[in-house]
């Protein structure tokens, strides 16, 4: 697990804050190259084997699979990871640990290599919800601004009074329409029945369950891969082999335009196949011809997805309310009135339990659509910038014996509420 100089982890601001709170940093963990991947097969160090049962050689999930595996194997209590489209929640689900993707912007990204800045979030993986929560609050640079805090306190009080209203994005007998809308591929029954069980137990304890619909989330996966690739192509342009990154000189006897060749040779050698694919896709999406159809369209879809979340949540979107121009300011002083709606959303974290590594490795450099589909349930919260927590729940007897994670998603800034529900279900 060790790699590089032990001190260099302190270039990451979140790690530095944890260090100043007494955390001991024990090492750096493996991950997919530049955080691109869902199965951890795109690492020069080789794949992370899921420690749940080493013999079976299943994926620890990606991209922060090393962090999840380190926690699951008992090498540390908590680990830092990044989550751009699910890279904390998916490994957490596959490895049977807790994973929190905070609200976008809640934890500093200082020291983190950018993949897609408008989505990248630093977050925590932990053995349980309490340790995750503790380290999350210690790694925060800023707390929620004072003028917004009372609204959140109110919401917390409601939860204490057991009036929590989780909506669920799952196909049930009562909401068959959701099945076609939200799930493009069949979710395996082994992840659905533990979720149903969890929802029933919350219900017994006073939670009110409301099936909800977020119609635009069916476009989330496509929008995510356009936006994330576009941002990645721009971010990774700095690896030019001259000022930054691996330098591969052109072969001897090359023609005079050698500087262009240096760029081509350095980037061809320096990037792995998945990263090269994203750069090509992203560059295409940003070209003048494709910009309207791909990049702009994906941005519009992202706005609609965010509106979907805001419509179903009881807590108003604090960011939208505060970013209104003065002429549109809300009478309540910047915070929208509380509406009807749910406190949190719940859904399976992944469409299946950890896939065998052989399935992921077979796809390397070739057709990798299956890996992309693993993210279908996690990318909506990433595009909306809202907090999402994956908590391991007891697996069903009919399942394959591997961990199953349930996700709790809340409005921006409502980490405490999400973690409170997380504690209730673990």
Q: How far is the CB of 19 from ligand GLN (least distance, A)?
A: 24
Residue 368 near ligand GLN by CB under 6 A: no
Q: How far is the CB of 367 from ligand GLN (least distance, A)?
A: 15
Q: Is 151 in a helix, a strand, or coil?
A: helix
Euclidean distance between CA atoms 104 and 217, whole angstroms: 18
Q: Is 275 in a helix, a strand, or coil?
A: helix
Q: How far is the CB of 227 from ligand GLN (least distance, A)?
A: 10
Euclidean distance between CA atoms 243 and 241, whole angstroms: 6
Tell me the two tokens of residue 367: 């057709």
Phi and psi (nearest 5°) for 306?
Answer: -60, -40
Show the site string, 93-122: x = touches ligand GLN by CB under 6 A, - = not: ----------------------x-------
User: Whose Cβ is closer to ligand GLN: residue 375's or residue 415's?
Assistant: 375
Exposure string of 145-157, with b = 16+ CB inside 10 Å and e = fewer, is: eeebeebbeebee
**Count of residues of this chain found to bind ligand GLN when the rule CB under 6 A is applied:** 14
Residue 85 near ligand GLN by CB under 6 A: yes
Among 18, 23, 36, 112, binds ligand GLN (CB under 6 A): 36
User: Whose Cβ is closer to ligand GLN: residue 123's or residue 194's?
Assistant: 123
Q: How many CB atoms lie within 10 A of CB 356?
A: 14
Instruction: Report CA-CA distances (Å) from 73 to 52, 160, 401.
Output: 8, 34, 17
Rg (CA), the chain: 21
Residue 38 near ligand GLN by CB under 6 A: yes
Residue 37 near ligand GLN by CB under 6 A: yes
Residue 375 near ligand GLN by CB under 6 A: yes
Give the residue from 339, 318, 345 showing the smallest Cα distance to 418: 345
User: Whose Cβ is closer to ligand GLN: residue 191's or residue 226's?
Assistant: 226
Residue 91 near ligand GLN by CB under 6 A: no
E strands in 86-183: 98-101, 121-126, 166-168
User: Whose Cβ is closer to ligand GLN: residue 30's or residue 38's?
Assistant: 38
Residue number of the CB closest to ligand GLN reads 87
Residue 67 near ligand GLN by CB under 6 A: no
User: Whose Cβ is closer to ligand GLN: residue 83's or residue 396's?
Assistant: 83
Question: Do 25 and 19 meet the contact criterion of CB atoms below 8 Å apart?
Answer: yes
Euclidean distance between CA atoms 89 and 350, whole angstroms: 8
User: Whose Cβ is closer to ligand GLN: residue 291's or residue 372's?
Assistant: 372
User: Whose Cβ is closer to ligand GLN: residue 263's or residue 372's?
Assistant: 372
Among 86, 91, 126, 348, binds ligand GLN (CB under 6 A): 86
Task: Please name the helix (run of DSSP H) or strand (run of DSSP E) that holds residue 407, with its range, or none.
Answer: strand 404-410
Q: How far is the CB of 306 from ligand GLN (least distance, A)?
A: 18
Question: Do 400 and 106 meet the contact criterion of CB atoms below 8 Å apart?
Answer: no
Q: How far is the CB of 248 from ligand GLN (least distance, A)?
A: 25
- Candidate segments 34-42, 279-287, 317-325, 383-391, binder of ligand GLN by CB under 6 A: 34-42
DSSP secondary structure string, 365-392?
Answer: TS--HHHHHTTTTTHHHHHHT--EEEEE
Q: How far is the CB of 72 from ligand GLN (least distance, A)?
A: 18
Among 43, 50, 59, 84, binds ligand GLN (CB under 6 A): 84
Q: Roughly what angle, to the nearest 10 degrees, separates helices 189-204 and 415-425?
A: 100
Interface with ligand GLN (CB under 6 A): 35-38, 63, 82-87, 115, 228, 375
């Amino acid at each position: 697990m060790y790699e590089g100089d032990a001190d260099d982890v302190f270039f990451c601001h979140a790690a530095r804050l944890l260090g100043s709170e007494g955390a001991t940093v024990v090492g750096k963990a493996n991950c997919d190259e530049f955080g691109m991947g869902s199965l951890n097969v795109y690492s020069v160090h080789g794949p992370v084997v899921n420690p749940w049962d080493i013999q079976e050689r299943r994926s620890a999930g990606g991209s922060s699979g090393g962090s999840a595996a380190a926690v699951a194997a008992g090498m540390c209590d908590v680990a830092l990871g990044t989550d751009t489209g699910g890279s904390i929640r998916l490994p957490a689900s596959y490895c049977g640990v807790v994973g929190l993707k905070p609200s976008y912007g809640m934890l500093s990204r200082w020291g983190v290599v950018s993949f897609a800045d408008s989505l990248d979030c630093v977050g925590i993986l932990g053995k349980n919800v309490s340790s995750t929560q503790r380290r999350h609050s210690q790694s925060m640079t800023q707390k929620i601004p004072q003028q917004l805090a009372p609204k959140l306190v109110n919401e917390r009080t409601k939860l204490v009074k057991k009036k929590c209203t989780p909506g669920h994005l799952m196909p049930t007998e009562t909401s068959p329409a959701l099945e076609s809308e939200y799930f493009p591929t069949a979710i395996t029954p082994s992840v659905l029945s533990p979720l149903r069980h969890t929802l029933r137990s919350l219900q017994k304890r006073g939670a009110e369950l409301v099936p909800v619909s977020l119609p635009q989330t069916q476009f989330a996966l496509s929008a995510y891969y356009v936006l994330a690739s576009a941002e990645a192509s721009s971010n990774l342009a700095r690896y030019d082999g001259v000022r930054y990154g691996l330098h591969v000189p052109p072969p001897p006897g090359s023609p005079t335009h050698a500087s262009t060749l240096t760029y081509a040779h350095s980037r061809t050698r320096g990037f792995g196949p998945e990263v090269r694919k994203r750069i090509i896709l992203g560059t295409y999406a940003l070209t003048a011809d494709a910009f309207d159809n791909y990049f702009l369209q994906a941005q519009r879809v992202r706005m609609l997805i965010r509106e979907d979340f805001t419509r179903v949540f009881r807590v108003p979107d604090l960011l939208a309310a505060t970013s209104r121009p003065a002429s549109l300011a809300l009478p309540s002083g910047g915070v929208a009135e509380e509406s009807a709606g749910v406190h949190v959303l719940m859904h399976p974290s992944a469409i299946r339990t950890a896939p065998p590594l052989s399935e992921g490795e077979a796809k390397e450099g070739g057709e990798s659509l299956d890996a992309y589909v693993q993210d279908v349930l996690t990318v909506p919260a990433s595009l909306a910038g809202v907090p999402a927590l994956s908590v391991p729940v007891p697996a069903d007897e009919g399942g394959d014996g591997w961990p199953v994670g349930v996700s709790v998603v809340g409005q921006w800034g409502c980490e405490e509420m999400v973690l409170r529900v997380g504690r209730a279900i673990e």
